[in-house]
Amino acid sequence: MGNEQLKQRSRSQIKQQICGPKRNLGNKSAVSGLPGSLNKETRHVLSLAAVLAISTPALAAEYFVVRGPDKKGKVVETRPTDKTVVVVGDRAYVTREQAEKQVKVVCKD
């Protein structure tokens, strides 16, 4: 193509030749119209996954080291409300193994 022909073509024509024709995206943004972009369902699934990932640690089990009226230590999953059972320390353990170790250290029967 010669210089004369390039000068006669408008900028939009050159851009259209390089980038392709304009697409009517309606109310979509240009980014959401690109190939590989996330559709509405995928965004909802990803949002739900993020919420679950954040809230799952809050739903994890907690283990407490307690000492009953018989003065023996044991591990329970819920904080006792009974006045005769005392929580040893003020810490909740994430795993039963951690709590069992602490029973051996703190509650020497």
- Write down the pLDDT at residue 103: 85
Q: Is residue 54 part of a domain?
A: no
63 phi/psi in degrees, rounded to 5: -120, 135
Q: Is residue 72 part of a domain?
A: yes
User: What would the pLDDT profile of 60-93 be if each residue is shown by its tens digit?
Assistant: 678 888 888 888 888 888 888 888 888 887 788 8
Compute how many other C-beta atoms are within 10 angstroms of the C-beta atom of residue 63.
21
Domain that holds residue 74: 64-106
The number of folded domains in the chain is 1
Give the ranges where 9-95 is alpha helix by DSSP (H): 11-19, 40-59
Report the sign of the C-alpha dihedral through residues 10, 13, 17, 18, in that order. positive
Q: What pTM was computed for the model?
A: 0.44
Q: Is residue 98 part of a domain?
A: yes
66 close to 92: Cβ distance less than 8 angstroms: no
Considering only residues 77 and 37, tell me which one the structure prediction assigns the higher pLDDT.
77
Most confident segment among 14-28, 50-64, 89-103: 89-103
DSSP letter at 61 equals: -
The whole-angstrom distance between residue 77's C-alpha and the CA centroid of its chain comes to: 25
DSSP letter at 108 equals: -
